[in-house]
Chain A
Amino acid sequence: MSRYREIRSERGQQLQGLRAGFVSRAVASGADVVLVFGVYVVGVIMVSIAWDLFFSKSISVADPPHWLNELLVWILLVAYLTAGWSTGRTLGKQMMGLRVVRSDGSPLRFLRALIRALLCASFFPALLLALVNRRNRGLEDLALRTVVTYDWLPTSYQPLAEPSRDAQLMIETRISSVPIARSDEGRNLAAPIEAPSKRT
Chain B
Amino acid sequence: MGVGAATLVAVEITSRSIRIARVFVPASIAEGPLDAVERHLGRRQGEAHKSERENRDNVAEAAESVLNRVVVGVVDMLDMEQLIDHVPINKVVARVDLPGVIDEIDLAGVIRESTTGLGAESLDASRAGFMTMDLWSARLVDKILRRKEPRDLTVWWDGADQPESAKPEGIP
Contacts and interface: CB of A to CB of B under 8 A. Distances in A.
Interface in B132-172: 132-139, 141-143, 145-159, 161-163, 165-172
Q: Which of B133, B154, B163 has the most CB of A within 10 A?
A: B154
Contacts, number: 172
Interface residues of A, number: 65
A164 B170 contact: yes
A97 B125 CA distance: 12
Contact of B166 (A11, A22, A97, A160): A160
B128 interface: yes
Interface string A13-50: 11111111111100100000000000000000000000
Contacts of A171: 135, 150-151, 153
Contacts of A2: 165, 167-169
Contacts of A105: 155-159
Q: Which of A104, A165, A171 has the most CB of B within 10 A?
A: A171
Interface of A: 1-4, 7-9, 11-24, 27, 95-97, 101, 103-106, 131-132, 134-136, 147, 149-150, 152, 157-167, 170-172, 174-178, 180, 192-193, 197-200
Interface of B: 120-121, 123-125, 127-128, 130-139, 141-143, 145-159, 161-163, 165-172
Given A105-B156, A150-B131, A176-B139, 12 more contacts: A101-B155, A131-B138, A134-B151, A158-B163, A160-B155, A162-B171, A164-B171, A167-B168, A174-B139, A176-B149, A192-B171, A199-B158
11 contacts: A4-B168, A9-B128, A11-B128, A12-B131, A15-B131, A19-B151, A19-B154, A132-B145, A134-B147, A158-B159, A199-B158
